[in-house]
Amino acid sequence: MKSSKQSIFTFYNYLIFVIGILFIFTGYLLMIIGDTYSIVSLRISPLFLFLGYCVLIPVSIMVNFSKRGGSSTG
């Protein structure tokens, strides 16, 4: 039996994952810096957290960036 140690994730998957982690870190940092009822704490920080948790991290896991074979005509 052959044991293949090839990862299903590519460089772009890891890159988007790291960007998602940075968005999450920035969201929490903005939440700490802003006052309780400031626009930074109430609007901008949750936007960064939403993009990190609900968009970037799932995209980095679900999208396959590997090259696909086949014809380019359709």
In sign, the C-alpha dihedral spanning 37, 24, 16, 73 is negative
Number of domains in the chain: 1
Whether 71 is in a domain gets the answer no
Whether 3 is in a domain gets the answer no
Whether 25 is in a domain gets the answer yes
Cα atoms found within 13 Å of the Cα of residue 34, Cβ hemisphere only: 17
pTM: 0.80
Whether 72 is in a domain gets the answer no
Whether 68 is in a domain gets the answer no
pLDDT digits (tens, 9 = 90+) for 7-58: 888 999 999 999 999 999 999 999 999 899 999 999 999 999 999 999 999 9
Domain range for residue 35? 11-62
